[in-house]
Amino acid sequence: MLSTLMLGAAEAASANLFDQWWLLIKDKAVAGQLDFWQTIYKEIYQNVLYNNRWQNYLKGLGITLEVSFFAALLGLFLGMLLALMRLSHAKPLQKVAGVYVGIIRGTPMLLQVLIINFGIFGTIAIDRVIIGVIACGLNSAAYVSEILRSGILSVDKGQTEAGRSLGLSNWQTMRLIVFPQALKTALPAMCNEFITLIKETSILAYIALTELTKAGDYIRSKTYSAFTPYIVSGILYLIVTGVLTKLLGKLERRLRQGDNR
Amino acid sequence: MITVKDLHKHFGKLEVLNGINQHIAPREKVVIIGPSGSGKSTFLRCLNLLEQPTSGQIFFEGTEITAPKTDIDAIRCRMGMVFQQFNLFPHLSVMDNITLAPITHKLMTKEQAQKRAMELLTRVGLPEKANTFPKQLSGGQQQRIAIVRALAMNPDVMLFDEPTSALDPEMVGEVLEVMKQLALDGMTMVVVTHEMGFAREVGDRVLFMDGGIVLEEGTPKQIFENPSNPRTQDFLRKVL
């Protein structure tokens, strides 16, 4: 209780400070006489600080991350399944997976999102976050499966033969010998796919999911600033993808070191 | 131990094996020689079904392994194989390479498997390499590890597919030495090789293959000193 009060007080104090700074230049702003730095402050004040608008971006970022994370999981799981189906010896499985990948890769993601939102879940009351996860996950799965498939194919056939000659089953050989090596080869492309996925969730703005892009768009509709809200959203995207690139780069380097131990 | 009846293998229109009949006895060392493309590697790879024969039968200790219902994985546990390109698992340490199969098959606990691996590594003179990775080893060392990996399953027979062909000349000796030791220990061995010295010294029986059939077979003495078939004579003249 006490801490909430204190937080509230601190917020009010800081808000007051920003508001006071704004009041200092407000008249000049109305008259259109702001200098460069004052213009920048005006933009930041209106698009980020005023009325705690920064919270909109953070909420949007939260939803973007939430959708991306679960869509990546779904995509990874489904993608593995599809890759194994395409590499299996059962013709019908190959066909099904091939057609799926063909359809997903051959149609715009926006169209897929619209079909899933209005077509499949059109009459069902369901959280848009879940729709977003499903739409992006199904899309990503097709690309992940191709990445994994090429990774698996890049592993020398002799590895499979060595595994099988030791009496390991097809699946054991895949799991213990081929897959770990395939994953290492596929990691850079997977990193790319995850980053693409994060950015592509912005398409969900179309179905009124208030993720990071839509959040920026919402602010624009309030302030009529054409640049600042989108730039704020863009910076947040950059931070997330930058951190992810760093992390996966580290992982990749560690795996490569394993080669030369 | 292994009986092969009328074995045929076609790759599309190409007939690689044209009817092979063989019986390999326990503890026997059979060495297969012949020009490249003669089908000797394909024959060896058929023995543990890495190649699926087009027709014919293969029996291993009374079980027909070419029968569709045979559990080939169980059969392969008793047949070790060594490849020309070693095919060690690059993502695993030497120790893990060796213990992977026995542990996965639950034949041994991890501790037992590691103890056995160290014994075998000592036998091939590489006990200090247990915690290194394949890429840090020379070709000869890698191939010795590959032999140990196959032996760790305690197989009844060892198949060697040109085990020294990918090695630098100075490393051939160390691998052949391990194989000779294995032969002295009484292992049943089927070896495809171009090492005529090894064939002569270790083989109980030498098969000369050409055109997908066994053209001539006999003791090393017969084959190397008194070959009867002109193609055998021609081949030996070129390689000896």
Interface contact A102, partner B, CB < 8 A: no
Q: Which two tokens stand for residue A121?
A: 């879940």
| Window 80-99 of A, Cβ < 8 Å to B | none
Using one digit for the tens of pLDDT, what is the confidence trace for B136-173?
999 999 999 999 999 999 999 999 999 999 999 999 99
Query: Among A127, A90, A110, which Cα is nearest to A201's?
Result: A110
Q: Which of B50, B73, B146 sits opposite A167 (nearest CB)?
A: B73
Contacts of B90 in chain A (CB under 8 A): 181, 259
* pLDDT over threshold 60, residue A55: yes
From A97's Cα to the closest Cα of chain B, the distance in A is 27
Q: In this predicted structure, what is the pLDDT of residue A8?
A: 54
Q: How far is B89 from chain A (nearest CA, A)?
A: 7
Q: Which residues of A touch B91 (CB under 8 A)?
A: 180-181, 184, 258
Closest partner CB to A166 (pick from B76, B85, B90): B76
What's the rounded Cα separation, in Å, for the pair A158 and A144?
25
Q: CA-based angle B118:B119:B121, to the nearest 5?
A: 60
Mutate to test the interface with A, among B45, B71, B73 (most CBs of A within 10 A): B73
Nearest partner of A197 among A138, A127, A126, A122, judged by Cα: A138
Cα A251 to its chain centre, rounded Å, is 19
- At B73, list the tokens: 């994985």
CB spacing of B91 vs A165 below 8 angstroms: no
Tokens of A199: 């950015």
Quickly state the pLDDT bin for A6 (edges 50, 70, 90). Answer: low
A165 and B88 within 8 Å at the Cβ level: the answer is: no
- Compute the mean pLDDT over every residue in chain A, rounded to the nearest whole number: 88
Contacts 24+ apart (CB under 8 A), B108-116: B113/B152, B116/B152
**E strand or H helix that includes residue B126:** none
ipTM (interface pTM): 0.91
Contacts of A259 in chain B (CB under 8 A): 90, 133, 135
Residues A152-177 have pLDDT tens digits of 999 999 999 999 999 999 999 999 99
Q: What is the 3-state secondary structure (H, E, C) of B224-239?
A: HHCCCCHHHHHHHHHH
pLDDT for residue A47: 84
What average pLDDT score do residues A64-82 get? 95
Residue A135 confidence (pLDDT) = 94
Contact B75, B65 (CB under 8 A): yes
Q: Which two tokens stand for residue B150?
A: 């196959």
Cα dihedral B26, B29, B30, B32 sign: positive
For the stretch A212-231, pLDDT in tens is 999 888 889 888 988 989 99
Our CA-based measurement puts residue B198 at a distance from the nearest CA of chain A, in whole angstroms, of 24
Q: A124 in helix, strand or coil? A: coil
pLDDT band of residue A27 (cuts 50, 70, 90) is confident
Q: Do B87 and A167 touch (CB under 8 A)?
A: no
The yes-or-no verdict on residue A7 having pLDDT over 60 is no
Mean of pLDDT values over A7-11: 55
CA A133 to chain centre: 10
Q: What is the pTM of this model?
A: 0.80
Q: Which amino acid is at B161?
A: D
CB of A260 within 8 Å of any CB in chain B? yes
Q: Which residues of chain B have pLDDT under 70?
A: none
Kindly tell me if the per-residue pLDDT of A257 is higher than 70.
no
Q: What is the model's pLDDT at position B205?
A: 95
Residue of B nearest to A258 (CA): B91
Please state, in angstroms and rounded to a whole number, the distance separating the CA atoms of residues B114 and B99.
6
Q: At CA B107, angle to CA B179 and CA A84, rounded to 5? A: 95
In this predicted structure, what is the pLDDT of residue B212? 92
Residues, chain B:
240
DSSP for A165-186, written as a single string: HTT--HHHHIIIIIHHHHHHHH
